[in-house]
Structure 1
Amino acid sequence: MLTRHNYYEEKRMKIEKRVLKVLHNLMQMTELYTEYLQQPTEEKLAWILKAEGDVNEYEERIEKSILEIISLQQLDVKEIKWLLGMNRIIRELERIGDQLTNIVTLSDVDDTKELQPMIKTFFRIEGEMIDWVKQGIANKDKQILQNVIKQDRHVNKLNKGTYNNLVHLINEKEHITESNLKTIIISRFLERIGDHLVNVARTYLEVCEEREE
């Protein structure tokens, strides 16, 4: 028979495992979308959207588990803060899934060649950030989580560069295509993904520090 303490520990482990699974799905979405840019097919598009649907499903499961624990278990302040922190984290991750879906929806097959270099550059940096978040949570590694926060400056620089490139085209009175305009919007979505990853890293650092006090 499970004691209340064991019940909470089991639920807590499940929450962390599901958060790690969501991070895996987000990484999978970036990889699938990179493949889609190289060779667009309806099948690849369907897989991307399925992965995002899985992210939403895990978010619902985690939030349900958190509410269940709070309603059934008497917890101290530190544990409540941990649960609320994990709730913030899963919402940030769900928003990353939304941003990736927005990018997929916005980019047509005709745009893929023009968008591919920019998106691949963003994904190279942000894929590393996702992996670091995953490692940081799995191993309680504060240094790796700090690296996520530092890495975001490169994402911001890329976003600024995309904007400056369009300004240059306008100043040179070059013909501005629909794809040119889409790069600005998509670049902003990609920059927001970096922001969400930073929020996740900071939140997990906070909950780790709370538990250590």
Structure 2
Amino acid sequence: MALNFFDQFMTPIYLGIPLITLATLMPRVAFLQPTSQWVHGRLTVLQSQFINNATYQLFAPLSLKSHAWALLIISLMTFLITINLLGLLPYTFTPTTQLSFNMAFAIPAWLATVIIGLRTQPTHAFAHLLPESTPPLLIPILIIIETISLFIRPIALGVRLTANLTAGHLLIQLISTAVFTMIHTFPLVAMLTGVLLLLLSILEIAVAMIQAYVFVLLLSLYLQENT
């Protein structure tokens, strides 16, 4: 009986406990709080440099008002990167392949940026719905289009993260299945396919990190428009 390739994206349950809950708690376990005994350790310094560089890249173009969001956005980026990378290990589950899981982060974060813009600078927030020097006949159409594009933003955030990770996991499973199928009949082809699988796994590690960064980068851009 052939297995369904999409079974890997179903939330597994072990002893009545959904593993998506344990996977969500893993980043808190992976990133321990430094103590005075190992505050200058190599791993801690590397982690601090990564977070500092990411914070600078994200918030250097933003206004000072946006810097209050630094802790939230950087924590979200670290959380997503850890979840994505842990999902590449064997016998694990990737929660970010679930659209509902990603939307649970995308919608509240996007909505918060919109509410902040409406509260602090409502004129500037509504000005995004209508470009300058618009002909009067096009004003209703452009307002509708810009409003739709505004509400599509959180959907694009969640779907982008879900689609990229799902596609990578499917490709890895398809190629690995081909390797195990051909290893006895066509060993040379299986070896070449195995090399391709290794390169794809390295690429998927990069994709897991890049997609988490793109997720928070777009959030920072939405924040920049509303502060």
On whether the aligned pair clears a TM of 0.5, the verdict is no
Normalized per residue, the structure richer in helix is: 1
TM-score (norm 2): 0.34
Is the radius of gyration larger for structure 1 or structure 2? 2
TM-score (norm 1): 0.35
